[in-house]
């Protein structure tokens, strides 16, 4: 069984990996388009986490992770506990193009564009202000951004949006929950998310 990592699974898979290789998924973009109310935010002060956002002509380069033999069922259960903490992610099987020319199918977690936690319309500046302030059960939102950006860079995977966000969030500083008033939530999203409906 293969798993496609494009965010925290790249640097913190939390399962035994038998093989890892750079891979490309066509038809999706890596984007901070999901409000996080558990791992990197709270219902009262959501953060943002990465998701695969379906877009024509887009592609996302990440890591294909082959699960150790005999660990498939246990790994899938752990992944579902971690990734399906809300119903905003959909578990899919997607075709990947591996860096060595192989073509495989992998498990991936894709955003449900109809879910209330889908925030695909946020621009990068809005994302930066949110990431600079939020924190959740797994730690500060900026830590998630910095780790992902750094590890993608080490793998030679270019992601200009993540690089820009990492630089901008460092400029803004890490305000913590007290920075809530400085968030750049558009009015209609603030009403939707901060009422607890997300």
Contacts of 1 (CB under 8 A, 6+ apart): 66, 67, 72, 75, 76, 107
CA distance linking residue 198 with residue 194, whole number of Å: 8
* Identified catalytic residue from 14, 69, 72, 83: 83
In what helix (H) or strand (E) does residue 195 lie, and over which residues does it extend? none
The rounded Cα 19 to chain-centroid distance in angstroms is: 21
The reply to whether 143 belongs to the active site is no
Half-sphere exposure of 22 (CA within 13 A, CB side): 12
- State the catalytic residues: 83
């Amino acid at each position: 069984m293969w798993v496609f990592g494009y965010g925290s699974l790249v640097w913190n898979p939390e399962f035994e990996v038998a093989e890892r290789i750079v891979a490309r998924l066509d038809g999706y973009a890596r984007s901070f388009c999901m409000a996080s109310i558990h791992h990197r935010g709270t219902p009262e002060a959501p953060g943002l986490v990465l998701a695969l956002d379906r877009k024509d002509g887009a592609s996302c380069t990440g890591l294909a992770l082959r699960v150790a033999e005999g660990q498939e069922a246990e790994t899938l259960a752990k992944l579902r506990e971690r990734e399906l903490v809300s119903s905003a992610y959909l578990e899919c099987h997607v075709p990947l193009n591996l860096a060595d020319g192989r073509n495989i199918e992998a498990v991936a977690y894709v955003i449900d564009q109809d879910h209330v936690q889908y925030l695909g319309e946020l621009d990068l500046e809005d994302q930066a202000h949110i990431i600079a302030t939020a924190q959740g059960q797994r730690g500060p939102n900026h830590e998630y951004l910095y780790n992902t950006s750094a590890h993608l860079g080490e793998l030679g995977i270019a992601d200009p949006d993540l690089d820009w966000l990492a630089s901008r969030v460092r400029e803004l500083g890490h305000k913590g929950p007290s920075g809530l008033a400085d968030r750049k939530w558009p009015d209609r999203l603030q009403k939707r998310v901060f009422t607890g409906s997300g």
